[in-house]
Amino acid sequence: MTAKYAIILAAGQGTRMKSKLYKVLHPVCGRPMVDHVLTQIEANNMDEIVTIVGHGSEAVEQTLGDRTEYALQAEQLGTGHAVLQAEELLGAKDGITLIACGDTPLFTAQTFAELFEYHKQKGAVATVLTARTDNPFGYGRIIRNEIGIVNKIVEQKDATQEEAAVKEINTGVYVFDNKELFAALHKIKNDNAQGEYYLTDVMEVFQKEGKIVAAYKMDDFEESMGVNDRLALSKATKVMRRRINEEHMRNGVTLIDPESTYIDIDVKIGNDTVIEPGVQLKGKTVIGTDCKIGAHSEIIDSQIGNNVTVTSSYIEDAVMHDNTDIGPYSHLRPQAEIKSGAHIGNFVEVKKATVGENTKVGHLTYVGDATLGHDINVGCGTVFVNYDGVNKHHTNVGDYSFIGSGSNIVAPVNIADHAYVAAGSTITDDIDAHDMGIARGRQVNKKGYFDRYPVAQAAAEAEKNKAKNERK
């Protein structure tokens, strides 16, 4: 069986991005561009993959880890020079080698597989992946002879007027006989407009030696889109987003308005879930079946169970179990866990806390650094006071307890099962089972005090105006 290798070109600085972030690390739908390329190549069961790095090499290696080997291109002397940096790792090996660029995130594993197969069928020493476009500006042109055989590939800056009119372009993806590739790279020169060693010049070397150079024309030009600036990045992201959304819809997910729905590539969604407009699902979020994700919700790296309703809320690094609901306008922060049957209402924030089964946290409440048992009712306006100015402290609330509205639970404190907190209390001590904690000043009614405050005068004026209007 023929060995298969791959070289990913990822050494360019990408100055047109005008960014501190290395070009190939710019994300498209939740993954760096170069990660997309590597993932699709890996799907073809490669024997060895080498990534050519240059500027920002440490960041690329940190991102891709041990999924690939690396070779350094210290000077940027062109694509041919870049590939030559892999010679020490691959040069002496028999097999075929795929070359792709790290800034082309839209290529698919299937296209790479078809290119490999076409190369084998043609018995070629080199096969270039081509596409047709009505606007070929900026791409290298495929120059064929009168019987359709590839003679050479001409870069935009070196093309004659006749060559520039050709609409078949080089996508920057190739398959080569591995040993022949490295032998030819030592024969190319840099006498061109850029003063660089072009990988494409090896095609002329092969032609002069009478070796077969083939070209496989792909159907979808969109796949070949390279990203050199922010405009191209946005276009590639739009294409990828459409692919992702279509795949989810084919798998039984309802997207009310796909054009306004943003789903990262690693997100998983169960069937019969409905996603409303303006939703963003990011990172490695997993959503179960029969869920409803309401308009303008954002969910990041979170686990959402089955039959969950999220209404216009923000969830990050959190867990919602089956049959729970949240919102509108609530926030689950990291390490929040909402157990089965629990209800998180509107304007509630939960951080590093567990809310037990069937517990209700209805509205206007902050639950931080706490463990709430099951079947608890937390009244409106409750604050779990977890920070003393230096350290965070934890609160425990037992099963079947009741927290009255407007309470402050000052950690560290333990409230037992079947305990009661009176509304408006500031609780600083533990409460035992079946006890009620009440911590507020006793009510005193002052006779006639209403009339001593400005509100009395305003009320009198309002009553006078009301009476006047009623007489009219």
Active site residue 418: no
**Nearest alpha carbon to residue 124 among 1, 210, 4:** 210
CB atoms within 10 A of CB 291: 24
CA separation for the pair 244, 251 (Å, rounded): 11
Taking alpha carbons only, the member of 43, 182, 167, 168 closest to residue 116 is 43
| Residue 455 burial class via C-beta count within 10 angstroms: exposed 0-12, middle 13-18, buried 19 and up | exposed
Rounded to whole angstroms, the Cα distance separating 154 from 164 reads 9
Catalytic residue among 363, 394, 418, 434: 363
Contact yes or no for 327/308 (Cβ under 8 A): no
Classify the C-alpha dihedral 204-210-216-217 as positive or negative.
positive
At 66 the three-state DSSP class reads helix
How far apart (Å, rounded) are the C-alpha atoms in residues 191 and 421? Answer: 84
> Distance (Å, rounded) from C-alpha 17 to C-alpha 163?
29
- Spatial distance between the Cα atoms of 342 and 306, rounded to a whole number of angstroms: 13
Q: Answer for the pair 370, 384: CB distance below 8 angstroms, yes or no.
A: yes
Q: DSSP label at 289?
A: S
Q: Which residues are part of the catalytic machinery?
A: 363
